[in-house]
Amino acid sequence: MKKKSRFFQMICSLSAVCLTLLVSSPLALLAFSNINTAPPAVQPESLSKAAMYTEPSLVADAYYMNENTDSQPILAKPAYDVFTVEERQAKGLALEVPKASPYYGAKVVYLTFDDGPDPDNTPVVLNILKDSGIKATFFVVGNQVEKYPDILRRIYQEGHAIGNHSYNHVYRELYQSPNSYVLQLRHTDQVIKQTIGVRPRISRAPGGSAGSFTKEYWEMLRKLGYIEMGWNISSGDASSANAKRIMGNIAAQMENKNLWSHAVVLMHDGRGHSETVKALPEIIKYYKDRQFEFGVINLETPSPW
């Protein structure tokens, strides 16, 4: 009996040792297991389509143009391109902008500001817009962006639209030829993209296109995919008008009800335009009191005229 008991004790001890080794050793468990622990292969179909296209490094609430030719413009959002003209040409991508139907509402106003960013006026304008809960469009000058990149980033991140307003705003250099005009646009594209990671497709000619553009200018802009956007309501702030006069200028032109569906208001936030800043709260109130919708210039914005 003692021999059997000792033998039984030896068998139990050996079993306990084997069980301990099996539990504590993953390799041993794998040896006795038929479970396949290899991770499942990732199928190409499971990849997000978005991963196939270039995305901006600094994302805002906007519509972005990239390699995806099926992407449709987003109504009421700013529009940007993740590529410059040169990059699109190098990649063999189309330069034309996606087709979009013009948006005509019952009452729509687009507040636009030229010649910034400016360290004194633009931040105040942005504060007023933020407090009012509305968006606007800023046509910026390239050499001003180089001086005040943080202000441009704020414009972009707060959901406003950005447009190209040339590099130096010097008429005698800008309007020598269609090529000289476009070179300034492309230079400013580079400056803007270096600052926010994308560039605008909308542009505005300093002083307006009338009297400066020939058909060659328009043809070159079309081929390169720029959308030239003028205005149909002038605040008159390019002169020495005070805030009261600026408001009066806008109100007088708004008597033309044909403009109510797409009123594009020209203002300036560049140096020397503090009266525009003073007038802005009253301008916003004027349109809010009349139930106007505030929009940003994008691919759906109708031509002013």
Contact status, residue 270 vs residue 115, Cβ threshold 8 Å: yes
Torsion of CA 298, 166, 169, 102, to 10 degrees: -20
- For this structure, is 273 an active site residue? no
**Interval 189-201 mean pLDDT:** 98
Q: 239: helix, coil or strand?
A: coil
Contact status, residue 128 vs residue 280, Cβ threshold 8 Å: yes
CA distance 43 to 46: 5
pLDDT score for 8:
47
pLDDT in tens, 140-159: 999 999 999 999 999 999 99
Name the active-site residue from 114, 118, 237, 269: 114
Contact status, residue 234 vs residue 266, Cβ threshold 8 Å: yes
- For this structure, is 114 an active site residue? yes
pLDDT score for 213:
98
Write b or e for each residue in 192-231: b if 16 or more Cβ atoms lie within 10 A of its Cβ, otherwise e: bbebbbbbbbbbbbbeebeeebeeebeebbeebbbbbbeb
Q: 259: helix, coil or strand?
A: helix
Torsion of CA 205, 211, 212, 216, to 10 degrees: 110
Name the active-site residue from 160, 169, 262, 268: 268
Q: Predicted confidence band at 69 (pLDDT cuts at 50, 70, 90)?
A: confident
